[in-house]
């Protein structure tokens, strides 16, 4: 297992290089550029643009720009935002915390809802509970999330005034847990409603498959209690597909979701990224992409390791060349 | 068995880490919590009783140093903190702020040749930290702008200054190399020299995020993506009437409006006309609105479109002035203003519609579909196949219109114009692109720069001094090319227009300049390359319990923030 | 579909004889099973009705979807305009019908792209394993590693906003989940005794994939595919929201929703109906997908 993990981590280096190179090429080939926002301002004349290009290093050949970025990045200097001049690490750092705070809470609630619902649904297939759970899941992932979010704000914030319409805390007040929770209620329940359905479908689906397998029949035949059969034998295998799906979603814990952040005015990574993309703020974009890519790689590795732990048939060391 | 336990442990561990990490994130994200904590429970009672004012804005400034950023939002915040020598009043007149009077030839502030401007500064003004404001700060501001280490966005005008002399603490003598007509518009914001420890390198200075000035407020804290908190400047010579001003950063205009409606904000910066019906009938909300000098217009490409276009090859359809005039005649601008703008703005008459340089005698362009049809027929465009669209020599009278995608008002305007042109037999196909593609540089394939369009829809307008605007838009030297150029993307070449622009910039005599700009505005209208549609509204929303504000089309929303009162 | 898989490829001995005699029964059994799934039937009914309305739109409504009537701006639902009018006085019901054609076409086409690409790559990866698997999975990693909105923006501004571009962009950014599911299901089944047995008696890879591996992956893929359709419709609305959707005056449900955003409280019908239609269609499609999953589950058939 350990050699496998080391090999996978070593593979991350060329992967990150590829990601950074591809991103750099794509960004640079899209029309616009960081100076585009100045171009229709009569006070920013051709000589001002030329001076800024020189100052920001945008007039150098692209391979040189990439090389400089890479060299600095490796030595821990992620550069400064072209727009604000602030260090990229600082800008990403402050958003990471906010995003994790929102997404982590939502994710926890999602799993706490999804797994029991999925299992119960499968155990009582076609029962009233199954139908209600199915309905709940389908409602959740069929509703356009920003539409529902806006509706929720209009009802609960504008009309009823129960919850704030957006933001993370009451600005200017000292820290208070209840204040923070008030701001979390709407976005977190919305996100849990949206994705718990999806996850519970996967749990239900693979649960149904597993309980028809021979070893479950055997376990039942041995006279084991249904609860034990389900929890000890079935659930363990049924969670395998869920792990692969969850691993794909985990990086969102840090990268955030633009739509939810946008609807609820949450100062997270999604919005930082979106804003930087519109602004062609290359250093910030590169920083976020690399962080995201790294997280994806780590969580995939985690998924594979967990996968091997729960499914004895999968042996990581046996996987061909890697 | 053992393996299962490992799994469970790991799952539990993951969940635990998720929840555990979430908790410490809270105090981390709220650095002020620690400060408040040491004050104990009494922190709240110690706060001033007056309610803070919250301004919701859907953009975040990149920097609060107005010279390092040219965004409007930067200026909205900076205007509450920093002051300039002069500002511009609602009617377009200069108002002294840190200067005691507007320099003129009469009061000796302007030399006869216009090359020397002398400002007398207000005495006794203090910076927020208690240090006196003097002429040295004005000189520092200029030197910092010109320092090559700073990524100053625009040096327009400042690079025409030969020297600044400070004979005493309250006199500034600015000497220009050559005549610079918009001289009085410079020095909109004065920076404190000691705010940078006298170092003219402003890169990475703390001041850029937490500036202080002579204005009514100082920036206390800026939480990225969330808020900028300002407090009253204790040394302000024009003290504000509220103790705290908070700018809340929201992701969209819609989110800002919802905050206003839910009572979480008192002011919304920069609304669009589409919000009018939503807010107009609400008795608790008042609209700050005024037509602005920004004109929504159609730009017609006189050159054959291509990538890049050749300015010497006329456009096969738009190259004929009769077709261009027919387009202007077919458009009913009143429909746009009355319906899309809810009658709150005005039909635009020319490129220079407001301020001293505007000629009020220029009439609104007529709407006459019959004359438009006659002109098109005269030009040889007939509907021979009965599909409602005209043809000539096998070519359909079909044109593409482009603007920035995602702008609702423009998209609605396009669709209304599309229908109006269809009635005279012109087909308009909408193909919008992101603004970075529309305004991109020549090298990056920008649509306007390269001339790869038929008709473009855009908003632009002159500052109080139109020189920069008209030079970059209508002068033949501003036709874009690989070597540079400006924004004459119409590829308009008219020696008379060039002459009028040059005449207007050659003197400080206001009458001569007025006449030249009037002539220019008429020539541009007669070219039908630039078809003005309507004046854009400047629109902001206020809660009814906020008073003291006055609309001003030339300055930012916060130009009179010291007068704002909030009495819930 | 079931029949095609069984009869087309059959060099081996075990499928001969008895299989032939009942070769159409799995399909029929699936259909019977699907018919028992009440929600799936409900979903089919809703979707069928909506599709009929969209297809026969010119006969259902007398209005032109782009005909403006500026005197009738933002009027609430009435007998003349059952869903009210929009900001240019156009009939919202008519725009819902014509816009629905485009929204649905985008959703289905993008799903087809993502499922085809995902299944193909996932199958190759899961079946062959080794360096092929590694290469494909690293490709998945690279694509997943990019924030998809970033690629959407970049590609959309690259290629312009045509329908084909939107379909390709949405489809090519959504195949990774299917690929992973197919691969995971292939890997899970690899160790099963019956696969080892089939391998031992000399079954060809093609036979193995089509007869044993793919049917096993069908359930999860169908579930994922149905989610993809609604996701594609939602992504289109997000693109519209960001201004990268179809060009006006063409309507899609997403673009109508976006236009409605700043009049949500003063003219709620302009926001409610497009959102509700997206919701209705995606829930119907998801119910159908659920029914299909149960119907095609190979082990349920053997019960």
Mean pLDDT of B401-421: 89
Percentage of chain B beyond pLDDT 70 is 91
| Residue A234, domain member (yes or no) | yes
pLDDT of residue B167: 95
CB C255 within 8 A of CB C245: yes
Query: Helix, strand, coil: what percent of chain B each, to 5?
Result: 35, 20, 45
| Residue B1 scores a pLDDT above 60 | no
| Residue A289, domain member (yes or no) | yes
Alpha-carbon gap, residue B199 to B206, rounded angstroms: 12
| C neighbours by CB contacts (3+ pairs under 8 Å) | A, B
H-assigned helices in C83-175? 92-128, 130-145, 148-159, 163-172
Question: Going from the N-terminus, what domains does chain C have, and what CATH number goes with each?
Answer: 26-66+77-300 (1.10.3720.10)
- Please list, in sequence order, all residues whose beta carbon lies within 8 angstroms of the beta carbon of residue C18, skipping any fewer than 6 positions away: none
Alpha-carbon gap, residue A189 to A196, rounded angstroms: 10
Alpha-carbon gap, residue B406 to A130, rounded angstroms: 42
Alpha-carbon gap, residue B85 to A37, rounded angstroms: 27
Cβ contact (<8 Å) for A171 and B487?
no
Chain C residues close to B434, C-beta within 8 Å? 153, 156-157, 243-244
| Residue B22 scores a pLDDT above 70 | no
| A neighbours by CB contacts (3+ pairs under 8 Å) | B, C
CB A247 within 8 A of CB A93: no
Chain B residues close to C68, C-beta within 8 Å? 415-416, 419
DSSP-derived 3-state class of residue B382: strand
More confident residue, A288 or A4: A288
H-assigned helices in B355-407? 369-378
Percentage of chain B beyond pLDDT 90 is 56
The alpha-carbon gap from A225 to the nearest alpha carbon of chain C, in Å, equals 22
pLDDT of residue A255: 66
By C-alpha distance, the chain B residue nearest C266 is: B278
- Name which of A66-80, B373-387, C264-278 the model is least confident about: C264-278
CB A9 within 8 A of CB A302: no
pLDDT of residue A311: 65
- Name which of A17-31, A222-236, A272-286, B359-373 the model is least confident about: A222-236
pLDDT of residue C25: 58
Within 10 angstroms of residue A278's Cβ, the number of other Cβ atoms is: 16
Give the Cα-Cα-Cα angle C249, C252, C255 (nearest 5 degrees).
75
| Residue A38, domain member (yes or no) | no
Alpha-carbon gap, residue A172 to B64, rounded angstroms: 20
| Residue C238 scores a pLDDT above 80 | no
Cβ contact (<8 Å) for C160 and B433?
yes
User: Both tokens of residue B93?
Assistant: 């007149």
> Measured on CA atoms in the order B369, B372, B378, B381, is the torsion positive or negative?
negative
Tell me the angle at which helices C38-55 and C92-128 cross, rounded to the nearest 10 degrees.
130
CB C37 within 8 A of CB A130: no
Task: Please count the helices (runs of H) and the strands (runs of E) in chain B.
Answer: 16, 21
| Residue A76, domain member (yes or no) | no
Among A304-313, B160-169, C116-125, C203-212, the range of highest mean pLDDT? B160-169
pTM for this model (two decimals): 0.80
DSSP-derived secondary structure for B189-211: SPPPGGGGTT-S--TT-GGGTS-
| Residue A131, domain member (yes or no) | yes
pLDDT of residue C1: 30
CB B558 within 8 A of CB B76: yes
- DSSP assignment letter at B347: B
Alpha-carbon gap, residue B368 to A284, rounded angstroms: 53
The domain that holds A166 is classified in CATH as 1.10.3720.10
Identify the band that residue C147 occupies on the pLDDT scale cut at 50, 70 and 90. Answer: low
pLDDT of residue A145: 80
| Residue A182, domain member (yes or no) | yes
- Computed on alpha carbons and rounded to an integer, the radius of gyration of chain A in Å comes to 24
The alpha-carbon gap from C26 to the nearest alpha carbon of chain B, in Å, equals 37
Alpha-carbon gap, residue A206 to C303, rounded angstroms: 17
pLDDT of residue A184: 92
Alpha-carbon gap, residue B412 to C259, rounded angstroms: 10
Mean pLDDT of B399-413: 88
Look at residues B264, B64, B251 and name the one whose alpha carbon lies nearest to residue A267.
B251
Task: Domain of residue A100: give its range.
Answer: 88-320
Look at residues B100, C227, C300 and name the one whose alpha carbon lies nearest to residue A199.
C227
pLDDT, tens digit, 9 for 90 and up, residues A82-127: 888 889 999 999 898 888 889 889 989 999 998 899 888 888 877 8
Look at residues B340, B404, B351, B356 and name the one whose alpha carbon lies nearest to residue B537.
B340
3-state SS of C242-260? CCCCCCCCCCCHHHHHHHH
By C-alpha distance, the chain C residue nearest A21 is: C142
pLDDT, tens digit, 9 for 90 and up, residues B260-294: 988 889 999 998 877 887 788 888 899 998 888 88
pLDDT of residue B34: 36
Tell me the angle at which helices A2-29 and A62-74 cross, rounded to the nearest 10 degrees.
140
Within 10 angstroms of residue B147's Cβ, the number of other Cβ atoms is: 14
Chain C residues close to B412, C-beta within 8 Å? 87-88
Across the interface, of C181, C191, C230, the residue whose CB is closest to A141 is C230
Average pLDDT of every residue of chain C: 77
Across the interface, of B254, B406, B430, the residue whose CB is closest to C243 is B406
- Burial code of B454-492, b = ≥16 C-beta within 10 A, e = fewer? bbbbbbbbbbbbbbbbbbbbbbbebbbeeeebbbbbbbb
| Residue B475 scores a pLDDT above 80 | yes
Cβ contact (<8 Å) for C262 and B274?
yes
Cβ contact (<8 Å) for B254 and C262?
yes
Question: Going from the N-terminus, what domains does chain B have, and what CATH number goes with each?
Answer: 3-266+545-566 (3.40.190.10), 293-537 (3.10.105.10)
C264 HSE (CA, 13 A, CB side): 26
DSSP-derived 3-state class of residue B221: strand
Cβ contact (<8 Å) for C234 and A144?
yes
pLDDT, tens digit, 9 for 90 and up, residues B191-217: 999 988 878 888 888 899 999 999 999
The alpha-carbon gap from C147 to the nearest alpha carbon of chain B, in Å, equals 19
Those of residues 52-81 in A touching chain B at CB distance below 8 A are 52, 55-56, 80-81
CA distances B183 to B135, B138, B188, Å, are 18, 15, 11
CA torsion, points C74, C77, C82, C88, in degrees to nearest 10?
A: 0
DSSP-derived 3-state class of residue B47: coil
pLDDT of residue B31: 36
By C-alpha distance, the chain C residue nearest B252 is: C262
Q: Phi and psi for A194 in degrees, rounded to 5? A: -70, -45
Alpha-carbon gap, residue A238 to C191, rounded angstroms: 16
Identify the band that residue C5 occupies on the pLDDT scale cut at 50, 70 and 90. Answer: very low
Percentage of chain C beyond pLDDT 90 is 11
Across the interface, of C149, C227, C261, the residue whose CB is closest to A198 is C227
CB C179 within 8 A of CB C118: yes
The alpha-carbon gap from C63 to the nearest alpha carbon of chain A, in Å, equals 27
- Name which of A160-174, B97-111, B427-441, C24-38 the model is least confident about: C24-38
Q: Phi and psi for A318 in degrees, rounded to 5? A: -85, 0
User: Both tokens of residue C188?
Assistant: 């899970």
Alpha-carbon gap, residue A158 to A150, rounded angstroms: 10
Domain count, chain A: 1
More confident residue, B44 or C90: C90
| Residue A232, domain member (yes or no) | yes
By C-alpha distance, the chain C residue nearest A287 is: C146
The alpha-carbon gap from B440 to the nearest alpha carbon of chain A, in Å, equals 4
Which residues share a beta bridge with B227?
Answer: B223, B248
Mean pLDDT of C214-219: 75
| Residue A11, domain member (yes or no) | no
Average pLDDT of every residue of chain B: 86
User: Both tokens of residue A4?
Assistant: 């496998």
Cβ contact (<8 Å) for A19 and C145?
yes
Cβ contact (<8 Å) for A15 and C138?
yes
Kindly provide the ipTM of the predicted complex, given to two decimals: 0.82
Chain C residues close to B432, C-beta within 8 Å? 161, 243, 247-248
DSSP-derived 3-state class of residue A225: coil
- DSSP assignment letter at B399: E
Cβ contact (<8 Å) for C158 and A23?
no
| Residue A314 scores a pLDDT above 70 | no
CB A136 within 8 A of CB A117: yes
- DSSP assignment letter at C54: H
Mean pLDDT of B152-179: 93
Within 10 angstroms of residue B362's Cβ, the number of other Cβ atoms is: 17
Q: Does the N-terminal peptide bond of residue C249 adopt cis geometry, omega within 30 degrees of 0?
A: yes
DSSP-derived 3-state class of residue A252: helix
Alpha-carbon gap, residue A28 to A31, rounded angstroms: 8
DSSP-derived 3-state class of residue A6: helix
Alpha-carbon gap, residue B61 to B209, rounded angstroms: 10
More confident residue, B409 or B323: B323
Within 10 angstroms of residue B20's Cβ, the number of other Cβ atoms is: 12
Q: With an 8 Å Cβ cutoff, is C159 touching chain B?
A: no
CB A172 within 8 A of CB C262: no
């Amino acid at each position: 297992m350990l050699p496998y993990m080391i090999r996978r981590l070593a593979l991350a280096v060329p992967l990150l290089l590829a990601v950074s190179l591809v991103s750099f090429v794509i960004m640079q080939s899209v029309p616009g550029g960081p100076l585009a926002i100045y171009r229709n301002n009569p006070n920013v004349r051709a000589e001002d643009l030329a001076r800024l290009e020189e100052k920001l290093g945008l007039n150098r050949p692209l391979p040189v720009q990439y090389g400089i970025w890479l060299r600095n990045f490796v030595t821990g200097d992620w550069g400064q935002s072209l727009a604000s001049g602030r260090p990229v690490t600082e800008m990403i750092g402050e958003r990471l915390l906010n995003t994790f705070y929102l997404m982590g809470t939502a994710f926890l609630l999602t799993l706490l809802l999804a797994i029991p619902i999925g299992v119960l649904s499968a155990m009582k297939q076609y029962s009233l509970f199954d139908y209600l759970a199915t309905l709940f899941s389908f409602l959740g992932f069929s509703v356009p999330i920003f539409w529902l979010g806006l509706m929720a704000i209009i009802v609960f914030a504008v009309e009823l005034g129960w919850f704030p319409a957006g933001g993370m805390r009451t600005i200017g007040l000292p820290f208070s847990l209840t204040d923070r929770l008030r701001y979390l209620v709407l976005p977190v329940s919305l996100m849990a409603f949206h994705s718990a359905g999806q996850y519970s479908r996967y749990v239900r689906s693979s649960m149904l498959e597993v309980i028809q397998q021979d070893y479950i029949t055997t376990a039942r035949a041995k006279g084991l209690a249904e609860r034990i059969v389900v929890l000890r034998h079935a659930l363990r295998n049924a969670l395998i597909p869920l792990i692969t799906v969850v691993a794909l979603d985990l990086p969102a814990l840090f990268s955030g979701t633009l739509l939810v952040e946008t609807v609820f005015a949450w100062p997270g990574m999604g919005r930082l990224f979106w804003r930087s993309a519109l602004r062609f703020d290359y250093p910030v974009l590169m920083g976020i992409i690399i962080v995201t890519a790294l997280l994806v790689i780590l969580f995939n590795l985690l998924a594979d390791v967990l996968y091997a732990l729960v499914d004895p048939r999968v042996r990581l060391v046996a996987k061909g060349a890697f | 068995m053992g393996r299962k336990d490992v799994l469970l442990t790991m799952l539990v561990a993951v969940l635990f880490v998720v929840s555990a990490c979430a908790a410490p994130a809270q105090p981390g994200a709220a650095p002020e919590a620690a400060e408040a904590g040491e004050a104990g429970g009494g922190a709240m009672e110690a706060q001033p009783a007056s309610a803070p004012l919250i301004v919701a804005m859907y953009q975040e400034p990149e920097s609060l140093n107005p010279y390092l950023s040219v965004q409007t939002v930067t200026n909205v915040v900076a205007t509450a903190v920093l002051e300039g020598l002069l500002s511009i009043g609602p009617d377009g007149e200069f108002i002294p702020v840190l200067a005691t009077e507007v320099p003129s030839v009469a009061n000796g502030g302007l030399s006869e040749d216009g090359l020397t401007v002398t400002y007398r500064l207000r005495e006794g003004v203090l910076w927020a930290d208690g240090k006196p404001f003097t002429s040295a700060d004005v000189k520092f501001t200029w030197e910092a702008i010109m320092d090559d280490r700073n990524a100053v966005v625009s040096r327009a005008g400042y690079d025409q200054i030969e020297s600044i002399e400070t004979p005493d603490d309250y006199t500034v003598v600015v000497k220009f190399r050559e005549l610079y007509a918009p001289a009085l518009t410079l020095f909109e914001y004065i920076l404190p020299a000691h705010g940078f420890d006298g170092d003219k390198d402003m890169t990475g200075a703390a001041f850029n995020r937490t500036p202080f000035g002579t204005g009514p407020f100082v920036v206390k804290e800026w939480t990225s993506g969330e808020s900028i908190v300002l407090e009253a400047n204790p040394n302000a010579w024009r003290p504000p009437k509220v103790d705290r001003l908070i700018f809340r950063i929201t992701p969209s205009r819609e989110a800002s409006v919802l905050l206003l409606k839910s009572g979480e904000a008192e002011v919304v910066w920069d609304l669009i006309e589409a919000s009018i019906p939503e807010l107009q009938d609400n008795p608790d909300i008042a609209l700050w609105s005024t037509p602005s000098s920004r004109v929504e217009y159609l730009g017609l490409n006189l050159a054959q479109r291509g990538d890049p276009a050749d300015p010497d090859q006329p456009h096969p359809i738009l190259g004929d002035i009769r077709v261009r005039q027919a387009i202007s005649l077919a458009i009913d601008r009143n429909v746009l203003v009355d319906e899309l703008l809810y009658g709150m703005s005005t039909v635009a008459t020319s490129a220079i519609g407001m301020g001293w340089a505007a000629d009020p005698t220029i009439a609104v362009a007529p709407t006459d579909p019959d004359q438009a049809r006659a002109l098109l027929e005269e030009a040889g465009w007939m509907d021979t196949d009965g599909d409602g669209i005209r043809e000539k020599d096998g070519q359909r009278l079909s044109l593409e219109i482009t603007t920035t995608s995602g702008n609702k008002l423009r998209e609605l305007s396009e669709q209304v114009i599309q229908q109006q042109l269809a009635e005279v037999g012109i087909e308009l196909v909408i193909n919008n692109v992101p603004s970075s593609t529309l305004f991109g540089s020549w090298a990056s394939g920008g649509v306007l720069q390269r001339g790869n369009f038929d008709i473009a829809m855009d908003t632009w307008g002159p500052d109080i001094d139109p020189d920069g605007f008209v030079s970059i838009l209508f002068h033949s030297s501003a036709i874009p090319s690989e070597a540079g150029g400006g924004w004459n993307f119409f590829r308009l070449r008219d020696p008379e227009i060039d002459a009028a622009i040059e005449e207007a910039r050659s003197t400080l005599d206001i009458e001569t300049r007025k006449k030249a700009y009037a002539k220019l505005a008429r020539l541009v209208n007669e070219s039908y390359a630039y078809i003005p549609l309507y004046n854009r509204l400047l629109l902001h929303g206020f809660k009814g319990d906020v008073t003291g504000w006055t609309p001003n089309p030339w300055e930012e929303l916060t130009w009179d923030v010291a007068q704002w009162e909030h009495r819930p | 579909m079931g029949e095609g898989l069984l009869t087309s490829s059959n060099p081996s001995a075990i499928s001969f004889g008895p299989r032939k005699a009942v070769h159409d029964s799995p399909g029929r059994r699936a259909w019977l099973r699907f018919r028992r799934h009440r929600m799936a039937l409900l979903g089919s009914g809703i979707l069928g009705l909506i599709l009929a309305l969209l297809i026969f739109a010119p006969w259902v409504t007398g209005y032109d979807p782009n005909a403006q009537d500026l005197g009738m701006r933002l009027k609430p639902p009435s007998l003349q305009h059952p869903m009210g009018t929009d900001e240019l006085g156009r009939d919202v019901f008519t725009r819902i019908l014509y816009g629905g054609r485009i929204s649905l076409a985008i959703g289905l086409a993008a799903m087809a792209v993502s499922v085809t690409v995902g299944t193909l790559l996932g199958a190759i990866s899961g079946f062959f394993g080794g360096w092929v698997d590694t290469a494909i999975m690293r490709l998945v990693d690279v694509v997943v590693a990019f924030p998809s909105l970033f690629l959407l923006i970049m590609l959309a501004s690259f290629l312009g906003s045509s329908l084909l571009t939107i379909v390709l962009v949405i489809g090519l950014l959504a195949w990774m989940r299917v690929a992973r599911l197919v691969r995971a299901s292939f890997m899970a089944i690899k160790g099963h005794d019956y696969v080892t047995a089939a391998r031992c008696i000399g079954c060809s890879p093609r036979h193995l994939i089509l007869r044993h591996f793919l049917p096993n992956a069908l359930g999860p893929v169908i579930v994922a595919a149905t989610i993809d359709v609604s996701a594609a419709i939602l992504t289109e609305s997000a693109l519209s929201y960001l201004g990268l959707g179809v060009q006006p005056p063409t309507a899609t449900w997403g673009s109508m929703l976006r236009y409605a955003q700043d009049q949500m409280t003063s003219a709620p019908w302009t926001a409610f109906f497009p959102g509700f239609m997206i919701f209705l269609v995606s829930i119907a499609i998801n119910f159908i997908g659920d029914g299909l999953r149960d119907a095609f589950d190979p082990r349920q058939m053997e019960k």
